[in-house]
Chain A
Amino acid sequence: MVKFNRFTLNNGLRVLVHEDNTTPMAVVNILYDVGARDEDESQTGFAHLFEHLMFGGSVNIPTYDEPLQRVGGENNAFTSNDITNYYVTLPAVNLETAFWLESDRMLSLAFSEKSLEVQRNVVMEEFKQRYLNQPYGDVWLRLRPMVYKQHPYRWATIGKELSHIENAHIDDVKAFFKKHYTPQNAIMVVGGDVKTEDIKALAEKWFGPIPAGEKYVRNIPQEPEQHEERRESVTAKVPLNDVYIAFQAPGRMEDGYYAVDLMGDVLSRGNSSRLYRSLVKDQQLFSDIHAYMTGSFDTGMFVVEGKPLETVSIEQAEAAIWEQLELLKQNDVPADELTKVKNKTESTLMFSEMSLLDKAMNLAYYELLGDGDLLNQEADHYLHITAAQIREQANRIFRKDNSSTLIYLAEQNTAEEIETDKSQY
């Protein structure tokens, strides 16, 4: 149970406070309700590039990191297709420094050309490091546009292509800030060795004077249901073949989400899960196989990914995966197995309460979904799922005409290259 108090400033900023006096630390987590799904098709990767620019100095404070480190604090941030989330941890005695820094960059950034220039380069190197210079690194760049034809989920947070980052202009950056980085578009969670009354005073002092800004009204095209089988294959410089089968799945707040999430656990959570047990151990067809759901706010993706052994054909590999999915469509998950995945979910939620930062991030996330207290109801949602509901979802989702299959085929010469590397040790 994560307890919290909540209040809203006149400018629309929502504030949640979680008092936890077992630690001398404090956490300030600010979630902005903007992600890659809010980007223009011709300027993808912008929400993430912008996250980098948030560290390039604000209107009254030339650098963000230095003053925070000076008081013993640390920070980071991440961007997803749905949200951008910033977090600070620091000794609670120095909490006000975080309010000073965060409120100034919510007020306005410095918008320096030098910072934009450098962060463009940094993000392009990130693009190369994570998506281009890794085996299978470009999978999301390929898979997303297969699953999504209308919705902006069709591009990854890093962006569609390097040129969108390369061409980012300072005016675009300013417009993005004005549109999305307003108090009414943000949720702040303060946790740790703090008192709600003190946080109210600090929030009024530092965030109260920030103008509310204009309300951003999200209007993005929703993805139509898929009714055709989609398939692509690519020959790449990868050592092993790799099979991805993606299905459209319920969004985070849609009916069926919890059933599908548990179904993913039945298939792929832990060494007792079905895919590992059947396809890696018993039938010995794959060296590695996983299934998971993206948990997106709008229509999500349920993905099965596996690397077949070298002696196994792609057709065999796909057939074996489908056989497992068919089992879920035709039979109820046995009671013991259902209890098992529910127990695992329950204990995962309990272990996550061991971390102050996790608690603060989760509160912000659930508040955006509608109410921070949803975090405390999460276990109940899972415990109420029945075998019949899982079977119903399996039948809804695991259809050929709801599937997008992406195959990586290993280029023949890769094995020799590995030999060359070793000879040089």
Chain B
Amino acid sequence: MLDRTLAPHFGAIERIKLLEPGHIKLPNGCNLYYFNSGEQDLVRIEWVFGNLRFNPAKPLLNSAVVSMLTEGTSKLSASQIADHIDFYGAFLQSEFGYDHSVVTLYSLSKHLGSTLPVIKDMVTDSVFPESELETYVRNQQQKLQVSLQKNDVVARRTFNKAMNGDSVYGLAADAVDYQQLQREDMLAHFKQMYQPSNCTIFLAGKIDDSILRLITDAFGDTWVNGTETADTTQPELTSAEEHFYYIEKPDAIQSAIRIGTRSINRSHPDFPAMQVLNTILGGYFGSRLMANIREDKGYTYGIGSGVTSLKHGGSLFIATEVGADVCRDTLSEIEKEINLLKTELVPQEELDLVRNYMLGSLLGSLENVFSHADKFKNVYFAGLDYTYYDRYTNIIKAITPQDILSLANKYLDFDQMYKVIVGKY
């Protein structure tokens, strides 16, 4: 007779096996890493460029330039670029990130010969046509108006600005910033930033010599550096004195809450342990914040915490949207949960669960060859190598309740955290 009250036996979760990338250093200084695996005849190629030093007077240059790479070169109009990419069933993204701007191409391998020249044109010869710039500015301003009506967006902007000041991490652009975008500035920015010595290429998919040759031909000898090296240093981050921000929305039926602090990034030895601490606090469905504030009290549809790791620092934050009437209560429950981690040892059973959950997630995060490239990028841009994941796995397996307690006391101080509330309080 089947006893359904007994859980089946379960086994140890194996270590992840990561694909070592091939590496080619092109003569122009551009590094190419490639990951070969999979059955489908398709590839993902990313061109990653370091963002230029933040200029407070022209805060949107980095993001506007990458967004507009699709809007025209001296040979191709925006519509020709779009037609070409779409015709070959490819997908093209050009996106701004805090540290890097990235052009991504998803293409069937058989069409690479047709799609690659378009990318080459975009990263070497974008011209930012005046009329396209006007359209971009107008549409961005309209989108911004919609975003600013969302409490969670306003909370995130306010939080980032308070914690990181006038910097690329603290940027909270307004309509005027868009208005000030000038074509000449964008051209100069483009010229300095988009050159081989500031570019790393990541290629993932079913890779053979002919594909590698297509890429090295297009982005090797024929792509040359300019006279001026890209300045990718960033000014020191400055945090605001004021730690509490309340933006009232009289009609709000929910309030957005964001609480957190600047913290260590991946290159710090404590980072893997911080990820364990974060997971316990709010990093998975069974976390303490979810268990208390959603599953016990029903105050919210979701609450979570996260750690971010950027080039110039990391952060730890908690975010949620809760019923306006329970906003204060939620805040004191968050404080209670943080303090509990600092005063009481995590029960062994809970910690074991979190260990297995994290090891399972790590294993599951390697879904396909693209995920291997993503894992590599995480460590590569933090100045680390694949041994990071061995250390990460070992720390997850060995960390003790006492370690968690010390870590919480070292890094979590509710009183010193930035707190933002948008809605009613």
Residues of A within 8 A of B (CB): 22-25, 59-61, 65-67, 69-74, 89-91, 93-94, 96-97, 99-100, 103-104, 107, 117-123, 125-126, 128-130, 132-135, 205-206, 209, 237-240, 269-273, 277, 280-281, 284, 287-288, 307, 309-310, 336, 339-340, 343-348, 350-351, 353-357, 414-415, 418, 421-422, 424-425
Contact = CB atoms under 8 A, between A and B. Distances in A.
Interface string B7-28: 1111111100000000000000
B159 to A, nearest CB: 11
Contact of A272 (B79, B135, B363): B79
B95 interface: no
29 contacts: A22-B38, A23-B366, A61-B4, A69-B286, A69-B353, A69-B357, A70-B357, A72-B357, A74-B361, A91-B13, A91-B363, A94-B360, A96-B9, A118-B296, A122-B295, A123-B301, A125-B321, A129-B321, A130-B301, A133-B254, A134-B149, A135-B149, A281-B79, A281-B135, A288-B143, A310-B142, A340-B86, A346-B89, A351-B91
Interface stretch (B244-252, B305-313, B333-341): B244-252
A16 to B, nearest CB: 20
Contacts of B5: 60-61
A193 B85 CA distance: 35
B116 interface: no
Given A66-B286, A344-B86, A133 B253 contact: yes
A125 B299 contact: yes
Contacts of B70: 271
Contacts of B252: 133
B139 A280 contact: yes
A367 to B, nearest CB: 23
Interface in B138-164: 138-139, 142-143, 145-146, 148-151, 154, 157-158, 161
Interface in B153-182: 154, 157-158, 161, 172, 174
B82 A270 contact: yes
B352 A70 contact: yes
Q: Which of A24, A72, A123 has the most CB of B within 10 A?
A: A72
A129 B149 CA distance: 13
**Chain B interface secondary structure, helix, strand, loop or mixed?**
mixed
B286 A93 contact: no
B360 A269 contact: no
Contacts of B296: 118
Interface residues of B, number: 82
Contacts of A125: 254, 298-301, 321-323
Contacts of A61: 4-5
Interface of B: 2, 4-5, 7-14, 38-40, 42, 70, 78-79, 81-83, 85-91, 106-108, 135, 138-139, 142-143, 145-146, 148-151, 154, 157-158, 161, 172, 174, 245, 247, 251-254, 284-286, 294-301, 321-323, 352-354, 356-357, 359-361, 363-364, 366-368, 370
A271 B13 contact: no
Contact of A100 (B8, B40, B359): B8
Given A133-B321, A309-B138, A272 B86 contact: yes
A205 B3 CA distance: 11
B341 to A, nearest CB: 18
Contacts of A209: 2
Most B-side CB within 10 Å, residue of A70, A96, A346: A70
A135 B301 CA distance: 18
Contact of B38 (A24, A71, A284, A354): A354
A162 B158 CA distance: 31
A339 B368 contact: no
B14 A350 contact: no
A205 B145 contact: no
A118 B297 contact: yes
A72 B13 contact: yes
B154 A421 contact: yes
A379 to B, nearest CB: 11
A269 to B, nearest CB: 7
B106 A351 contact: yes
A278 to B, nearest CB: 10
B87 A134 contact: no
Given A121-B298, A336-B87, A418-B149, 20 more contacts: A59-B4, A65-B285, A70-B356, A72-B361, A73-B357, A91-B364, A103-B4, A120-B298, A121-B299, A129-B300, A135-B146, A237-B251, A288-B139, A288-B142, A340-B83, A350-B42, A354-B370, A355-B367, A418-B148, A425-B158
Contact of B172 (A60, A239, A425): A425
A24 B143 contact: no
Contacts of B138: 284, 287, 309
Contacts of B357: 69-70, 72-74
A414 B298 contact: no
A65 B82 CA distance: 45
